[in-house]
């Protein structure tokens, strides 16, 4: 692996360096193994050496600890090593150091391993000011008295080195894994390494070597469980050996079930053994509400302990944990999940009802692999229609519709299981086979009876994905007016109506439905953790359809970050995918490709509502905008292969992806035909906001955009984005610079830098044709600034644009000169007044103006130079 950068320790480095010129006689760095104390010491010495100091290194080891003066042998004549400390040897060491010069810094690395003689040398040199010692010690090891004396009486500066902060860990991850890293994988890397750079380095090295960490679609991700190996394994093994059997039992139970309530752990072991584990720094306890929870001190201990368990031992531990869990009430959120899992791991399921509840909790956490494992175990232990429906539901969530259909019975069961059967059958029929008729027929079987509200909530969700947004809203309204409706059903309907309103161009309705659902989701977050995510994604999707990319991106980014840091990070796949679609619409193809690649990778075997095709279409557009026509073609083909008739909502967008793939290949007439097909699809299923965008893309690709239809949609919807599209389309058709400039302003405010850059570029050409030199130059400047936000995106409208006419310095002066004097500008930029005036004269000439008033009018009118 490449040499790692020095990150996250700037404050400690500055503090230690300052001690070299202050009153402190040395620095003591205390930390656990692998946190980076040796690296910090090397950086401290490198700084001193750069300042003209003489430096040296004394490395203590367990082997040298048995040899008198073994660690400091390099400071003594080879033929005069005494066996016991005394004045003579200290004098020899002092003479050796004096000979190096007036300023000497010596590192005593791992000073807790120093033999008595070497420790005496350290104390003597520091006490007499002969050397400035930089001492590193393990914080959990006893240290020589001389080190303690340096700190107490020296005084030496004591630095407790904490684990690296998350931002620094991210820098190391990105150094070793260039490009995108899947969010869940990044979270796992942070969790396993826990701020320890040595652990992170060994983790990455081992995972890359055995293929556990791979790159797919440009995104790094884990493909299996990590197991400690190499140097970190030996380091951990040293900490865990030797252990007496009772203490090892405590640690093994924690490895299989952490965190564990202290009361439960005491029933399974004994208080003395728990105290011993904590005393050795291998376990920690913390209060969580009314309970005290015990966990391992570092996640890697658990990985190593689990890897060392035999199958029989693991089953025995699972049985003990399951017995203890089942003997207590299942009151907390994850109690049933843990009790169910421990039963399965013990090999004996005595309470299949608890295992089924655990499977549903796993679904709530988006851990569908675990949900399938629990659902299968519950079905094996207690077969029945309910168990079949649960397993089929999980299989459908994992995208394995054929298996789900085989598990479900053809005939609907009687009684309360009928609702679950109907929900599972409808999802399998629609998302698995694209058969909306069969899906609705399954829901009709329970409509009007017990569970009918759940059926209607699910129906609204299917209607939205099928592109029948008006009907989805009508269904949602009926359900929201039903006072006794199931809370889950209402939240499903609110989410469906939120997105549907956005696609129909109704922002006020979108806000109404979102607020109704969000209030319920917050009140029932423990019971229905998915609902807040569904509502948030629906809002993001609605804002994307409305063209409000500022809000759409903020919602997606905040949801993604919050989900990754929460108890169910696997829910992040949808968030990052929709964030990628927003980034693509913004005209940020590089960033979009990373986000969308992460989503496609993360959704493998858990694409519940078949979003992969939409994200692949987004990747086609992103690669087309980047000019990679081969990748755009490949992603467009993959998107077409993923289509199964479901999710007609995204069909127009998928065809637009094909349009841009064709454009990237240079076949603009074919691209325009695809864009018109997209508009026709959107019109057929009544998605006016999408139709308007598709029609505008026809114009962007260089052909007429049916201005009359665009104006009609602008008047019908009245949203800022569609009105701006209509204005821009009119400007493109008539080469109207003012219309294009006005549209560019709206596009910028809504978070569309690419559309704004295209409009400003074309406005510059229009002004130039009309002989408006100043306006043309100003629009060109505006376009150049906007293109800076577009990550090198290329489109037909941009390809014909000019380049900026002002230099960086001229642009800087022009922005200030609109409102400030030359003297003020000169002081601010560190220039002479003459230089400022010379730059200003060139600005006037290039923009076709003659004074500051005209410059202020241009700058304040369009704000083009920012």
| pLDDT of 240 above 80 | no
704-760 pLDDT tens trace: 667 789 999 999 999 999 999 999 999 999 999 999 999 999 999 999 999 999 999
- pLDDT score for 304: 85
Gyration radius of the chain's alpha carbons? 34
Q: Which two tokens stand for residue 654?
A: 């998928």
Element (H, E) at 236: helix 230-240
The larger pLDDT score, comparing residue 650 to residue 861, is at 650
Q: Which of 730, 804, 850 is nearest to 858 (CA)?
A: 850
Rounded to an integer, what is the distance from CA 156 to the centroid of its chain?
42
Whose tokens are 């599972």? That residue is 424
Q: How confident is the model at residue 86 (pLDDT cuts 50, 70, 90)?
A: low
CATH of 808-862 among 1.10.10.10, 3.40.50.720, 1.20.1050.10, 3.40.50.300: 1.10.10.10
What are the structure tokens assigned to 553, written together? Answer: 């991106």
Please state, in angstroms and rounded to a whole number, the distance separating the CA atoms of residues 802 and 143. Answer: 70
This model's pTM is above 0.75: yes
Model confidence at 154: pLDDT above 80: no
Separation between Cα atoms, residue 33 and residue 38, nearest integer Å: 10
Partnered with residue 285 across adjacent β-strands are 294
**Burial tier of 211 (Cβ tally within 10 Å: 0-12, 13-18, 19+):** exposed
Measured distance CA(515)–CA(491) in Å, rounded? 11
Residue 680: predicted pLDDT? 96
Could you write out the DSSP letters of every residue in 466-493?
Answer: TT-HHHHHHHHHHHHT-TT--HHHHHHH
586 token code pair: 């913004």
- Find the angle CA(497)-CA(502)-CA(503) to the nearest 5 degrees: 95
Name the fold adopted by 10-160: Rossmann fold (3.40.50)
Q: Which of 230-244, 341-355, 679-693, 800-814 has the lowest mean pLDDT?
A: 800-814
Task: Sort 760 into a burial class: Cβ within 10 Å, 0-12 / 13-18 / 19+.
Answer: buried
pLDDT band of residue 499 (cuts 50, 70, 90) is: very high
Does 861 score more than 60 pLDDT? Answer: no
Determine the longest span between alpha carbons in the chain, in angstroms. 101
C-beta separation of 131 from 72 below 8 A: no
The mean per-residue pLDDT over the stretch 119-142 comes to 88
Q: Give me the residue spans of the domains in the chain.
A: 10-160, 166-226, 687-802, 808-862
The length of the chain, given as a count of residues: 866
State whether the Cα torsion 113-116-121-126 is positive or negative: positive
Q: What is the mean pLDDT of residues 516-543?
A: 93
Residue 117 has what pLDDT? 86
pLDDT at residue 866, rounded to an integer: 43
pLDDT at position 589: 97
Q: Nearest 5°: phi and psi at 813? A: -65, -40
Burial class of residue 537 (count of CB atoms within 10 Å of its CB; 0-12, 13-18, 19+): buried
Give the pLDDT score at 850.
81
What DSSP letter does each residue of 749-762 carry, written as one string? HTT-HHHHHHHHHH
CA dist 325 and 263 (Å) reads 11
Backbone dihedral region for residue 805 (phi beyond 0: left; psi -120 to 50: alpha; all else: beta): alpha
pLDDT at 82: 57
In this prediction, residue 79 carries a pLDDT of 59
Q: What is the mean pLDDT of residues 291-315?
A: 89
Q: Which stretches does DSSP call E strand in 114-222? A: 132-138, 157-160, 180-181, 213-216, 219-222
Question: Quick count: other Cβ atoms within 10 Å of Cβ 331?
Answer: 7
| Six token digits for residue 662 | 């064709």
Cα distance between residue 381 and residue 73, in whole Å: 69
Secondary-structure percent of the chain, ordered helix, strand, coil, rounded to 5: 65, 5, 30
Residue 67 has pLDDT above 50, yes or no: yes
3-state secondary structure 391-458: HHHHHHHCCCHHHHHHHCCCCCCCCCHHHHHHHHHHHHHHHHHCCHHHHHHHHHCCCCCCCHHHHHHH
**Cα 451 from Cα 437, distance rounded (Å):** 20
Amino acid 858: pLDDT: 64
Residue 179 has pLDDT above 50, yes or no: yes
Q: How confident is the model at residue 287 (pLDDT cuts 50, 70, 90)?
A: confident
Q: How far apart are CA 391 and CA 320, in angstroms?
A: 27
């Amino acid at each position: 692996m490449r040499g790692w950068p020095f990150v996250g320790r700037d404050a400690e480095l500055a503090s230690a360096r300052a001690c070299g010129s202050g009153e402190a006689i040395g620095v003591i760095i205390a930390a656990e193994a692998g946190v980076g104390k040796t690296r910090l010491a090397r950086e401290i010495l490198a700084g001193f050496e750069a300042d003209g100091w003489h430096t040296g290194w004394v490395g203590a080891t367990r082997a040298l600890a048995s040899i008198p003066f073994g660690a400091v042998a390099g400071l003594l004549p080879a033929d005069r090593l005494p066996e016991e400390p005394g004045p003579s040897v200290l004098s020899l060491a002092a003479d050796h150091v004096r000979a190096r010069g007036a300023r000497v810094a010596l590192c005593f690395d791992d000073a807790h391993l120093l033999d008595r003689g070497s420790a005496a040398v350290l104390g003597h040199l520091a006490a007499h000011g002969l050397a400035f010692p930089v001492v590193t010690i393990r914080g959990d090891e006893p240290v020589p008295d001389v080190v303690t004396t340096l700190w107490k009486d020296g005084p030496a500066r004591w630095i407790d080195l904490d684990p690296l902060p998350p931002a620094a860990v991210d820098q190391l991850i990105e150094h070793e894994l260039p490009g995108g890293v899947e969010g869940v994988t990044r979270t796992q890397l942070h969790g396993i390494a826990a701020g320890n750079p040595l652990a992170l380095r060994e983790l990455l090295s081992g995972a890359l070597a055995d293929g556990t960490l791979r790159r797919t679609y440009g995104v790094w991700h884990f493909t299996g469980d990590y197991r400690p190996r190499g140097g970190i394994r030996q380091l951990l093994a040293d900490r865990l050996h030797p252990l007496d059997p009772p203490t090892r039992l405590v640690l093994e139970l924690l490895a299989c079930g952490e965190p564990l309530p202290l009361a439960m752990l005491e029933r399974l072991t004994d208080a003395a053994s728990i105290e011993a584990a904590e005393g050795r720094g291998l376990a920690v306890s913390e209060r969580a509400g009314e309970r005290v929870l015990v966990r391992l001190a570092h996640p890697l201990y658990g990985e190593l302990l689990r890897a060392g368990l035999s199958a029989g031992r693991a089953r025995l531990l699972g049985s003990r944990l399951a017995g203890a869990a089942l003997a207590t009430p299942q009151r907390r959120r994850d109690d049933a999940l843990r009790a169910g899992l421990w039963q399965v791991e013990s090999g004996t399921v005595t309470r299949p009802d608890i295992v089924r509840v655990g499977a549903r909790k796993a679904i709530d956490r988006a851990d569908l692999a675990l949900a399938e494992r629990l659902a299968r175990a519950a079905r094996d232990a207690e077969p029945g229609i309910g168990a079949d429906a649960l397993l089929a539901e999980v299989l459908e969530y994992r995208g394995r519709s054929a298996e789900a259909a085989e598990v479900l019975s053809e005939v609907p069961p009687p009684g309360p299981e009928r609702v679950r059967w109907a929900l599972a059958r409808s999802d399998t029929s629609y998302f698995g086979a694209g058969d909306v008729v069969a899906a609705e027929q399954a829901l009709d079987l329970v409509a009007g009876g017990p569970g009918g509200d759940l059926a209607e909530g699910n129906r609204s969700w299917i209607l939205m994905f099928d592109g029948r947004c008006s009907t989805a809203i009508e269904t949602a309204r009926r359900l929201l007016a039903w006072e006794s409706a199931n809370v889950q059903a209402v939240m499903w309907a609110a989410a469906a109506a939120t997105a549907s309103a956005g696609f129909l161009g109704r922002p006020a309705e979108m806000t109404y439905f979102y607020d109704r659902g969000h209030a319920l989701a917050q009140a029932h977050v423990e019971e229905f953790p998915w609902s807040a995510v569904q509502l948030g994604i629906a809002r993001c999707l609605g804002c994307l359809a409305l063209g409000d990319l500022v809000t759409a991106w903020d919602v997606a980014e905040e949801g993604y970050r919050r989900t990754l840091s929460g108890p169910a990070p696997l829910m992040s796949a949808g968030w990052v995918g929709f964030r990628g679609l927003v980034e693509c619409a913004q005209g940020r193809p590089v960033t979009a490709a990373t986000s969308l690649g992460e989503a496609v990778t993360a959704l493998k075997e858990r694409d519940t509502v078949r979003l992969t095709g939409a994200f692949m279409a987004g990747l086609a557009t992103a690669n087309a905008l980047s000019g990679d026509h081969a990748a755009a073609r490949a992603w467009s083909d993959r998107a077409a292969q993923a289509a199964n008739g479901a999710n007609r909502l995204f069909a127009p967008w998928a065809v637009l992806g094909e349009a841009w793939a064709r454009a990237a290949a240079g076949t603009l007439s074919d691209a325009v035909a695809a864009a018109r097909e997209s508009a026709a699809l959107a019109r057929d299923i009544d998605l006016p906001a999408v139709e308007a965008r598709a029609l505008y893309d026809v114009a962007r690709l260089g052909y007429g955009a049916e201005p009359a239809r665009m104006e009609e949609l602008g008047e019908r919807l009245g949203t800022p984005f569609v009105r701006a599209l209509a204005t821009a389309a009119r400007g493109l058709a008539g080469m109207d610079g003012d219309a294009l400039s006005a549209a560019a302003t709206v596009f910028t405010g809504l978070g569309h830098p690419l559309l704004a850059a295209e409009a400003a570029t074309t406005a510059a050409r229009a002004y130039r044709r009309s002989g408006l030199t100043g306006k043309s130059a100003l629009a060109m400047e505006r376009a150049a600034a906007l293109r800076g936000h577009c990550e090198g995106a290329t489109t037909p409208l941009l390809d014909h644009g000019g380049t900026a006419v002002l230099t960086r310095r001229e642009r800087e002066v022009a922005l200030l000169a609109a409102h400030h004097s030359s003297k003020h500008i000169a002081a601010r930029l560190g220039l002479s007044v003459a230089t400022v005036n010379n730059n200003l004269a060139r600005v006037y000439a290039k923009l076709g103006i003659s004074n500051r008033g005209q410059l202020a009018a241009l700058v304040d009118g369009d704000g083009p130079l920012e």
